[in-house]
């Protein structure tokens, strides 16, 4: 608490020293200077607003129409502790979009969005409590590796595919290994590809042999159809005729 009060005091003092425009609240947002909180909820936003004060401790962006998080969206918010992005339309995170958030981040809420594929690179090394439920996740090895590195706050997230509608945490706890399933799927695909290739080779060889046989038969019939060469008279035949 002392650390928080110290940061809040620092925030207020900086805003008193800096020009007013540098501590101005972003458009469509409300800033509570006494708690270093920026409220941009239900503001009809389609992107992360610019001009968020760098000393912001709590940022509320829930219930908007934001679709993606660019890499530099939070690059100057090193003191941020709570980031609320739930109930948007976020379907992609730029690589390293959350890496700029400092180690003081304690809550990251990305629930109720449209995320399907994310990797460890997007989240960096954050250890904040993370909410990812109610996203249409595609359950694969990449997602499992991400879940194993994050400090997750679980609810029942939906998913697409074979395990659609099942809580992901229960699937992982039950021993389902999406990485091994992916390897098995890859092996099956390779076997099918090899079988198809082998079948095509056999078909080509059979076709080639039959074509050669047909050509050989036509050539033989052509040779048979040619007239026999006439026998030319020899010298012996001429002498015998004279006697």
On whether residue 188 sits in a domain, the answer given is yes
The residue ranges of DSSP E strands in 133-238, in sequence order, are 137-138, 151-152, 159-160
Regarding whether 110 and 61 lie in a shared domain, the answer is: yes
pLDDT grade, residue 105 (50/70/90)? very high
Q: What share of the chain is helix, strand, coil (3-state, %, to 5)?
A: 40, 10, 50
Measured CA to CA, the distance from residue 80 to residue 97 in angstroms comes to: 14
Pairing of strands 37-39, 30-32: antiparallel
Regarding whether 62 and 114 lie in a shared domain, the answer is: yes
Query: Are residues 218 and 210 in contact, defined by beta-carbon separation less than 8 angstroms?
Result: no
Regarding whether 96 and 133 lie in a shared domain, the answer is: yes
Closest CA to 11 of 30, 50, 37: 37
Measured CA to CA, the distance from residue 29 to residue 132 in angstroms comes to: 25
The rounded Cα 138 to chain-centroid distance in angstroms is 9
Regarding whether 181 and 170 lie in a shared domain, the answer is: no
On whether residue 126 sits in a domain, the answer given is yes
Question: Does 163 score more than 60 pLDDT?
Answer: no
On whether residue 93 sits in a domain, the answer given is yes
pLDDT grade, residue 230 (50/70/90)? low
On whether residue 231 sits in a domain, the answer given is no
On whether residue 168 sits in a domain, the answer given is yes
Cα–Cα separations (whole angstroms), residue 94 to 74, 99, 111: 12, 10, 17
Regarding whether 170 and 182 lie in a shared domain, the answer is: no
| 61 backbone dihedrals φ, ψ, rounded to 5° | -125, 20
Find the range with the poorest average confidence among 34-48, 78-92, 158-172.
158-172
Measured CA to CA, the distance from residue 18 to residue 179 in angstroms comes to: 52
pLDDT grade, residue 24 (50/70/90)? confident
> Which of the listed residues 155, 176, 197 is the one where a domain comes to its end?
176
Q: What is the pLDDT of residue 238?
A: 55
Regarding whether 143 and 95 lie in a shared domain, the answer is: yes
> Which of the listed residues 146, 176, 206 is the one where a domain comes to its end?
176
- Return the higher-pLDDT residue of 89 and 6: 89
Regarding whether 33 and 152 lie in a shared domain, the answer is: yes
Measured CA to CA, the distance from residue 16 to residue 38 in angstroms comes to: 17
Regarding whether 158 and 119 lie in a shared domain, the answer is: yes
Query: Are residues 113 and 88 in contact, defined by beta-carbon separation less than 8 angstroms?
Result: yes
On whether residue 108 sits in a domain, the answer given is yes
For 110-140, what is each residue's pLDDT tens digit? 999 999 988 888 887 888 999 998 999 887 7
Regarding whether 165 and 50 lie in a shared domain, the answer is: yes
On whether residue 230 sits in a domain, the answer given is no
Task: Give Dmax over CA atoms of the chain in angstroms.
Answer: 146
On whether residue 197 sits in a domain, the answer given is yes
Measured CA to CA, the distance from residue 174 to residue 203 in angstroms comes to: 46
Mean pLDDT of 204-232: 74
Q: What is the pLDDT of residue 220?
A: 75
The number of folded domains in the chain is 2
Regarding whether 32 and 71 lie in a shared domain, the answer is: yes
- In the numeric block, the tokens 């458009």 are attached to 27
> Which of the listed residues 123, 145, 176 is the one where a domain comes to its end?
176
- Residue 123, domain CATH: 3.80.10.10
Q: Domain range spanning residue 90?
A: 2-176
Regarding whether 212 and 163 lie in a shared domain, the answer is: no
| 37 backbone dihedrals φ, ψ, rounded to 5° | -115, 135
Regarding whether 123 and 76 lie in a shared domain, the answer is: yes
pLDDT grade, residue 187 (50/70/90)? low
Q: What is the pLDDT of residue 181?
A: 52
């Amino acid at each position: 608490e002392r650390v928080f009060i110290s940061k809040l005091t620092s925030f207020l003092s900086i805003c008193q020293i800096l020009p007013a425009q540098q501590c101005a609240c972003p458009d469509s947002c409300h800033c509570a200077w006494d708690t270093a909180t920026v409220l941009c909820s239900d503001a009809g936003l389609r992107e992360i607003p610019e001009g968020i004060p760098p000393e912001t401790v709590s940022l509320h962006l829930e219930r908007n129409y934001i679709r993606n998080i660019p890499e530099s969206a939070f690059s100057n918010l090193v003191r941020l502790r709570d980031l609320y992005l739930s109930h948007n339309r976020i379907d992609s995170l730029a690589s390293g979009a959350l890496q700029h958030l400092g180690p003081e981040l304690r809550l990251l809420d990305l629930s109720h969005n449209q995320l399907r594929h994310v990797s460890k690179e997007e989240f960096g090394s954050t250890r904040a409590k993370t909410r990812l439920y109610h996203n249409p996740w595609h359950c694969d090895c990449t997602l499992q590796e991400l879940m194993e590195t994050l400090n997750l706050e679980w609810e029942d997230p939906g998913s697409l595919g074979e395990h659609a509608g099942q809580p992901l945490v229960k699937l992982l706890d039950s021993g389902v290994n999406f990485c091994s399933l992916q390897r098995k799927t890859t092996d099956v695909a390779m076997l099918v590809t090899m079988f198809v290739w082998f079948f095509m080779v056999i078909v080509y060889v059979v076709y080639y042999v039959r074509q050669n046989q047909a050509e050989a038969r036509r050539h033989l019939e052509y040779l048979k159809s040619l007239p026999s060469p006439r026998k030319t008279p020899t010298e012996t035949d001429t002498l015998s005729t004279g006697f």
